[in-house]
Amino acid sequence: MRALIQRVGEARVTVGAETIGAISRGLLILLGVAASDGEREAEFLARRIAALRILADDAGKMNRSVVDAKGGALVVSQFTLCADLTRGNRPGFSYAARPEQAEALYGYFCDQLASHGVPIACGRFGADMQVGLVNDGPVTIWMDTAELMQPGAS
């Protein structure tokens, strides 16, 4: 499971003219689900993101988690994070989970993140979405469970 996490002052996702999810201060999480992912990866990633200290404290240091800062998270599914770029100029998506698996794990990840005390807003799985954000910092972090869950990784 891969997540591109952006610290935001605000973020929203629209489908057509309808805003379907929005947050003020917090995290925009673009989430890619690989075919090899399961609930274990979703639980691990949700726990790590909930504890990730990238929001500013009173001194302006990255020292607060989204939970500490009472922020929210906007989670948007993005299968293109699982792109294979090893051949040619057109990305392949054979590593991405099939839609049924990806949608279930996307929902499970959102539930897990919420269980850590993070207010959640979501995109619409499989929809053509427009995402707007005010990137705060900018701060952008990449997390990949294939790397983070290896033996010896902290």
Per DSSP, 60 falls in state S
Asked if the structure places residue 152 within a domain, the reply is no
> Residue 108's domain is classified under what CATH number?
3.50.80.10
Q: What is the pLDDT of residue 151?
A: 81
- Catalytic residue, from 19, 80, 130, 140: name it: 80
Asked if the structure places residue 153 within a domain, the reply is no
**What global pTM score does this model have?**
0.95
- Catalytic residue, from 79, 109, 112, 145: name it: 79
Q: What are phi and psi of 151, to 5 degrees?
A: -55, 135
Q: Share the mean pLDDT of the chain.
A: 96
- Catalytic residue, from 6, 14, 19, 78: name it: 78
Asked if the structure places residue 21 within a domain, the reply is yes
- Distance of alpha carbon 55 from alpha carbon 119, whole angstroms: 15
Instruction: Check if 78 is active-site.
Output: yes
How many independent structural domains does the chain possess? 1
151 preceded by a cis bond (ω within 30 of 0): no
Asked if the structure places residue 95 within a domain, the reply is yes
Instruction: Check if 80 is active-site.
Output: yes
Q: Which domain holds residue 73?
A: 2-145
Per-residue pLDDT of the chain (154 residues; tens, 9 = 90+): 999 999 999 999 999 999 999 999 999 999 999 999 999 999 999 999 999 999 999 999 999 999 999 999 999 999 999 999 999 999 999 999 999 999 999 999 999 999 999 999 999 999 999 999 999 999 999 999 999 998 876 6
- Distance of alpha carbon 114 from alpha carbon 19, whole angstroms: 20
